[in-house]
Amino acid sequence: MNGQDEHIDSEKKDVLREIANIGAGHAATALAALLDRPIVQSIPDVELVPLNDVPDRLGGPDKTVASGLIELSGDVSAFFMVVLNLEQADRIINMMLGDIGRETSGAIWQLSELEESVVSETVNILGGSYLTAICEMTGLCANQSTPYLCVDMVGAVLSVVLAEAGKAGDFAIVFKSELFNNDECIMGDIILLPDEQSCGKILKSLGFE
């Protein structure tokens, strides 16, 4: 997949959707154990999105989100960007710590150290679940960093990722696999930002030249 591709053909999309399905399944199992309640997953989807269009896919550059950034190293050089809207992050915190009635409007929304730990562990589980799925499907080996958690506008968060990545490719792979508890969505988008070499390596390992 090179920088000129603006969509995924159906065969590649089916394979990437299977990664999303496996990743969401791992995440649902792990989160059910962490939260001690049933978690079900939606039918997954996947998109190849130009980097400039990523903010719009996430609700616009000015939307405030809780985002975890995870660096991947080893056979794959990439970043995972796990994006939760504030309501989703609140639900996860409330499931773990009880309803704390936090204000969720813009810059007022802040995390205590304990709440940050809860969200960070959730991000770690989500990122690790998708990394495991990628490694299972490709046979590649990769390690993940400790998540860097930030609460900011989508545009600012993406700028941080791109500044850290430096050598990221022109496109992001957006995995859309929602997880639900009692009809409430507690998981947002998982965005993979590989460099061009790693993107090609992943596809080659999946059987695409």
3-state secondary structure the chain: CCCCCCCCCHHHHHHHHHHHHHHHHHHHHHHHHHHCCCCEECCCEEEEEEHHHHHHHCCCCCCEEEEEEEEEEECCCEEEEEEEEHHHHHHHHHHHHCCCCCCCCHHHCCCCHHHHHHHHHHHHHHHHHHHHHHHHHHCCCEEECCCEEEEEEHHHHHHHHHHHHCCECCEEEEEECCEEECCEECCCEEEEEEEHHHHHHHHHHCCCC
pLDDT reported for residue 105 = 47
pLDDT reported for residue 158 = 85
pLDDT reported for residue 4 = 39
d(C-alpha 75, C-alpha 98), whole Å: 40
pLDDT at 164 over 50: yes
pLDDT reported for residue 6 = 46
The full set of domains in the chain, from first to last, is 10-205 (3.40.1550.10)
pLDDT reported for residue 16 = 85
Please, which pLDDT band fits residue 44 given cuts at 50, 70 and 90?
Answer: confident
* Percent of the chain's residues with pLDDT above 70: 88
Reading the block at residue 75, the tokens are 């056979």
For residue 111, with 0-12 CB atoms within 10 Å meaning exposed, 13-18 middle and 19 or more buried, which class applies?
middle
Please, which pLDDT band fits residue 7 given cuts at 50, 70 and 90?
Answer: low
If one compares 8 and 118, the residue with the highest pLDDT of the two is 118
d(C-alpha 141, C-alpha 135), whole Å: 6
What does the pLDDT look like over 61-85, one tens digit per residue? 999 888 999 999 999 889 999 999 8
pLDDT reported for residue 134 = 92
54-58, 108-112, 178-182, 195-199: segment of lowest average pLDDT: 108-112
